[in-house]
């Protein structure tokens, strides 16, 4: 494949996690950013990976841009909005169980699609476009429609548009809006990458096959259904394969398992065009990610050979 520009669209947030003695550690993460991170780690250097979002003009926004840039991910499409700030979440630990508190209702990223020309320019400059159900959920409805229209244009232009439904009911105004908008996300995409747990819980799918059929009926061409330690089922243009997960000695932290799988899968698939091999590669990367703490595991710890 000759495509060389990967664009991920969504929200990256400030992350605060427990560092002992009541101290908090600051990081940056968010589903589509995590996927950009792993795509960057796994793609060859002749690929560019860009992150598309909106941030504010405060010091924390500056730090986030510097962090993204240091990760080798392009920041030139990040719009800065005067007076706005990034979203924030905190991870609490109680008896070994993690829980999350979010402050993102007013984040700059909610305006990421408010400038349609800016969005169009970024999508037109890319060969591969990635976004998620979380990206759609945080947008005002008319901006979600703008983003979906750009995705459809990109799909019609023959670009690889990839979408992870990443269903989070709390982010949506209602189940009806969530079902309709996520379905539209899938319809506007070539490759849909759902997690079966979410699809069963929120779309009522009785089986992985039901998830595949529902997304194919909407117009998705290729589908990868992730199912945790039970592996993934792929349906590429109608051809089905199953790829098992890799055995993990001790699962430490499953944060970003699906995001890392998506980034690694896309990277390998874009380089080789081989979906089944890409799923095997991505299972290896995701297995490393769940064996470490945190959403963003450094490239050196991903155990990749080459690439």
- Packing angle between helix 208-218 and helix 175-187, nearest 10 degrees? 70
**Position 294 contacts ligand ADP (CB under 6 A):** no
Look up residue 8 and give its DSSP letter.
E
Residue whose CB is less far from ligand ADP, 148 or 257: 257
Contact code string over 272-291 relative to ligand ADP, x by CB under 6 A: -----------x--xx--x-
Q: Which of 31, 164, 198, 259 is catalytic?
A: 259
CB of 31 to ligand ADP, least distance (A): 9
Residue whose CB is less far from ligand ADP, 72 or 231: 231
CB of 258 to ligand ADP, least distance (A): 2
Strands 54-55 and 79-80, how do they pair? parallel
Query: Taking CA 230 as the corner, what is the angle to CA 302 and CA 234, rounded to the nearest 5 degrees?
Result: 85
Kindly tell me which residue out of 39, 91, 162, 257 binds ligand ADP, with binding defined by CB under 6 A. 257
Q: How far apart are CA 29 and CA 11, in angstroms?
A: 8
Active site residue 176: no
Query: Which of 242, 240, 222, 223 lies closest to 232 in space, CA to CA?
Result: 242
**Position 4 contacts ligand ADP (CB under 6 A):** no
Which stretch of DSSP H or E encloses residue 209? helix 208-218
Q: How far apart are CA 108 and CA 79, in angstroms?
A: 9
CB of 33 to ligand ADP, least distance (A): 15
Tokens (6 digits) for 226: 């992730």
**Position 261 contacts ligand ADP (CB under 6 A):** yes
Residue 11 in contact with residue 134, Cβ under 8 Å? Answer: yes
Contact code string over 209-238 relative to ligand ADP, x by CB under 6 A: -----------------xxxx--x------
Kindly tell me which residue out of 195, 212, 268, 269 binds ligand ADP, with binding defined by CB under 6 A. 195
Q: Find the residue with minimal CB distance to ligand ADP.
A: 258
> Which residue has 């793609």 as its token pair?
43
Strands (E) across 53-96 are located at 54-55, 79-80, 88-94
Q: Give the catalytic positions in this structure.
A: 259
Task: Using CB under 6 A, list all residues that contact ligand ADP.
Answer: 195, 197, 226-229, 232, 245-246, 248, 251, 254, 257-258, 261, 283, 286-287, 290
């Amino acid at each position: 494949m000759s495509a060389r520009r990967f664009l991920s669209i969504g929200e990256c947030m400030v992350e605060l996690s427990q560092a002992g003695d009541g101290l908090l550690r600051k990081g940056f993460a968010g589903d589509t950013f995590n996927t950009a991170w792993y795509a960057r780690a796994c793609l060859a250097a002749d690929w560019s990976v860009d992150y598309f979002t909106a941030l504010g003009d405060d010091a924390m926004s500056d730090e986030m841009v510097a962090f993204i840039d240091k990760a080798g991910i392009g920041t030139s499409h990040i719009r800065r909005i005067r007076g706005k700030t990034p979203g924030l979440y905190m991870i609490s630990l109680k008896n070994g169980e993690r829980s999350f508190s979010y402050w993102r209702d007013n984040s700059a990223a909610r305006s990421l699609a408010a400038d349609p020309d800016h969005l169009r320019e970024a999508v037109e400059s890319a060969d591969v476009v990635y976004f998620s159900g979380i990206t759609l959920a945080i947008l005002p409805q008319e901006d979600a429609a703008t983003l979906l229209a750009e995705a459809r244009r990109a799909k019609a232009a023959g670009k690889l548009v990839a979408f992870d439904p990443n269903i989070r009911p709390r982010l949506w105004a209602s189940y009806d809006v969530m079902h309709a908008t996520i379905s539209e996300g899938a319809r506007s995409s070539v490759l849909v990458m759902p997690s079966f747990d979410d699809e069963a819980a929120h779309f009522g799918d009785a089986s992985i096959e039901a998830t595949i059929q529902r997304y194919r009926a909407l117009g998705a061409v290729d589908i990868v259904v992730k199912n945790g330690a039970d592996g993934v089922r792929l349906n590429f243009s109608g051809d089905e394969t199953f790829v098992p997960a890799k055995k993990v000695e001790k699962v430490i932290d499953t944060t970003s398992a699906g995001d890392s799988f998506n980034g690694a899968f896309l990277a390998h698939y874009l380089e080789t065009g081989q979906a089944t091999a890409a799923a095997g590669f991505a299972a290896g990367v995701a297995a490393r990610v769940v064996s470490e703490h945190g959403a963003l595991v450094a490239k050196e710890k991903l155990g990749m050979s080459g690439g």
